[in-house]
Structure 1
Amino acid sequence: MAKRRELVHDIKLQVASLLRSSCVNIQVGSEKQKLTVHEAVFRKSSSPSLRRLVEPGFRESEEGCVDWTHTSSETVERVLTWLYFHDYQSPEPVIRTSGGVADEVDSGTHDAGIGRNGNTYETPFDDGQNHPEGDLDLEPELVVEAIPDETVAVFGRFEAEDQQLQDAIFESCSIRPLTPLGRCVEVAPIMSTYKTAAGVFEEQSFPHETFSYRDPLLAHAEVYSFAKYHLLFKLQQLALQRMIITLRKLDCSVEYAEQELTELIEFVYDNISADQDGEEPMRKLLSQFAAINYTSILHGSFEALVGRGGDFGLDLARKLSRRLLAHGVSGESAEDKFDDRIWNVELQVQQRDREIESLNAQLKDSFVWGRGINKKGRRR
């Protein structure tokens, strides 16, 4: 809870600073598309290179324009989205044709409650209660509360003189108290949780034998490359996590899986340099995945990639040697599945806690309102 309050406080401060901030123009992609971003977003960034873009004395700051034409517009848009909302959009897998090339379909993007996708907002919490139309019929209660006894006669001789009718009205009110505030009108409770783009993606189903994962895989790799170059460590970690989630959905027995992996691996090893003090995380992830699924993807373009050697061939050989030393038995997949099960159980527990909290609030609301009704149906 403390972290959530701290995050909300930071967001409020960021919004206030944005309202007072000037804007800077960015040219992105080979088409030199123009984007606009608040200077405060760069100024509060953890990246020294981004902060320098709006500091006095630098060319970008003096001209009010940043040249990122060497980076695709989609990647820059995802990075800027993360700078504003701590999450970013990614394309969904698209349907393959019989030739293995993905069709152009209107698949949309993931939404995490940030004005996109998906990340796709989470639907409002459903309290699980059925509210029949009769529960929302407030006419008897409104008649009793709005009309004092001394003014009953104005409604006509029949209503005033028919004591049996009046007794029936009061009796109905005493049996069924006023509907609690939380259910008396058809308004859903305020959402207290938001799903990230990764959370939405995990819940969706894109069978690999039908859908191509090329676009989301390359999107996460491009964001990771940009984040590492500009020292955006948190964005780098997010892109790495999103890549892991996407890789877990791949079925390497699918005919065209090796083509998608080959293109991804070539991009990563061509654009993300190796670390001097250890194994580069994204390279390690992909070489590990390739080693685990080696027998399924060793054909076509992937086989040609392995034959060329280079850094990837060396990293893959190291991973395969570890598998051979372990008699060909790898525990990584089992560990991943176990971690997934633990995570899913934790999510179910959190969801159940929210449901219990909501039901307790409704019960308390019903008790408070029911206690204020006397036997004749009047409020005390």
Structure 2
Amino acid sequence: MSPDSKISKSIFAKRPVKIVVGSDERVYYVHRGTLEVHPSFDARLKASTDEYEEAIDWSGFDEQTIDCVLNFLYSGGYQAPQATSVAAEDEQPSPPDSPQSQPSWPHSPTPIFPVRARSLSPVAESSIGPDSPPTQALSECDLNDRPLTPLEYCDGVTLATDHEKQDQHQVEPEQETEGHTAAEIYLHAKVYSFASQLDFEKLEQFALNRLAQVLVALEQTDKAPFPYLVDAIRLIYKTTSTVDGARNLLSQFVALRYTTLAGEDLDELITEGGEFVVDLSHKLARRLTTTAMAFKKVEYLTHRNEELKAESAEKDKELKALREEVRPEPAQGFPAFTYQI
């Protein structure tokens, strides 16, 4: 028996599992083998379906999200379709270049499963930095340590290198900004929320990287990320724990581009308060602090430069005087001769 046949048997030999998806309760099927290769995810599903004897109830997640999940189960990735902001009662897509004037609540924002509290390893606890949410004991010392970290270096984000992008035929950020990139913010947030709630760590990491990739691309343009950004923030903060990579990434993006994002959409989100505003305020405070420190440093360096110029002028005068003192005078007692040829 060839290795390929063994793989096929492990995935396809068992009876498929029934899945109920979306508010319309559409029926999907998935092979057990694709679920069983992800232990934590598989264990959680088996516990809720009596070892898959019952249908998996994913009626709280829309079909677009589950399509991405199933694609990831079978291929290890997913491609973003025409992603849009989804209203609670109307899921008709809106043109990406003309987002809805009012931010809409994501479909079923309430957690489908209890949000788990993530424990940090000793190494992770010791490496908590000022980019982490305020619940991670953000200190005044941390606040003044350094400027906000670029999105591609945020905790948990591992974007592909240029060589890996070429191997995987991934497009560059400049190319990603074309089309419906802004709408993908909400799509990746939905997939991340699903993975976070169901302990699907590999999908969670993949969705976080895709979300970071889109946000990094949008940083290079003036394209409006609303209402997709607002929907994504609401969903992530509603369905994840306080120590979370997507929370950190989204609040970091808003803090870094706060002056360009300011407007009615962001104002409405901020007036709602909550943990997002707490995270954002800490990041903005750090940004203002580091900016003030930079101005003080520039002022100090300018003042020091003037002092050094004055000191240099004094030294030049002293050097000139010393040169005058040591300059040899004409020898005395010898007649001056004039030679004529």
TM-score range, shorter chain: 0.5 to 0.7
For the residue of structure 1 that corresponds to 2:81, the secondary structure is: coil
Give, in whole Å, the separation in 1 of the partners of 2:273 and 2:66.
32
Query: By how many angstroms is 1:263 displaced?
Result: 2.3
- Conserved? CA contact 1:288–1:319, under 8 Å: yes
Aligned counterpart for 2:205 among listed residues 237, 249, 252: 237
Q: TM-score, normalised by structure 1?
A: 0.51
- Give the one of 27, 47, 61 matched to 2:52: 61
Aligned twin of 1:44 = 37
Render the CA deviation track for 1:123-162: whole Å, top value 9, x for unaligned.
Answer: xxxxxxxxxxxxxxxxxxxxxxxxxxxxxxxxxxxxxxxx
Q: Structure 2: how far apart are the matches of 1:38 and 1:87?
A: 17
Residue 262 to residue 223, structure 1, CA distance change in 2 (3 Å): same
Unaligned runs of 5+ in 1: 1-8, 103-192, 331-380
Residue 213 of structure 1 contacts residue 260 of structure 1 at CA under 8 Å; is this kept in 2? no
Are residue 221 (structure 1) and residue 181 (structure 2) matched? no
Give the drift of 1:270: 2.0
The aligned runs of 1:273-284 (5 Å cut-off) are 273-275=241-243, 280-284=244-248
Number of the residue aligned with 2:175:
205
Partner AA of 1:27 in structure 2: V
Question: Counterpart in 1 of 2:128?
Answer: none
Paired residues in the alignment total 222
Equivalent residue number for residue 35 of structure 1: 28
| Residues 211-252 of structure 1: CA deviation (Å, up to 9, x unaligned) | 443431111111111111111112111111111100012158
The code of the aligned residue for 1:70 comes to: G
Which residue of structure 2 lines up, in the alignment, with residue 79 of structure 1? 69
1:142-291 maps to which residues of 2 (within 5 A)?
Answer: 199-202=169-172, 205-207=175-177, 211-251=179-219, 254=222, 256-275=224-243, 280-291=244-255
Judge conservation of contact 2:96–2:183 (CA < 8 Å) in 1: no
Alignment partner of 1:26: what SS?
A: strand
CA distance in 1, matches of 2:77, 2:218: 23
Q: Is the 8 A contact 1:90 1:216 kept in 2?
A: yes
Whole-angstrom distance in 1 between the partners of 2:97 and 2:35: 45
User: CA RMSD, aligned part only?
Assistant: 3.5
SS in 2 for 1:318: helix
- Give the equivalent residue in structure 1 for 2:267: 303
The DSSP-based 3-state class of the residue aligned with 1:81 is helix
Per the TM alignment, residue 329 of structure 1 is displaced from its structure 2 partner at its CA by: 8.8
User: Identity over aligned residues, as a percent?
Assistant: 29
Q: Distance in 2 between matches of 1:228 and 1:43?
A: 18
Given that 1:28 and 1:68 are in contact with CA atoms closer than 8 Å, whether structure 2 keeps it comes out as: yes
Q: Which has the higher contact order (CA 8 A, sep 6+)?
A: 2
Letter in 1 for 2:250: L
Q: Secondary structure at the match of 1:240?
A: helix
Contact 2:196 2:204 in 1 (8 A): yes
Give the counterpart of 1:294 among 238, 258, 263. 258
CA distance in 2, matches of 1:22, 1:90: 29
d(CA) in 2 for partners of 1:257, 1:327: 26
Counterpart position of 2:280 = 316
Q: Which runs of structure 2 are paired with 1:326-345 in the superposition (5 Å)?
A: 326-327=290-291
Given that 1:221 and 1:268 are in contact with CA atoms closer than 8 Å, whether structure 2 keeps it comes out as yes
1:252–1:293 Cα contact (<8 Å) kept: no
- Tell me how far apart the structure 2 counterparts of residues 97 and 42 of structure 1 sit (CA, whole Å): 33
Kindly tell me: are residues 38 and 100 of structure 1, through their superposed partners in 2, closer, same or farther at Cα, counting changes over 3 Å? closer
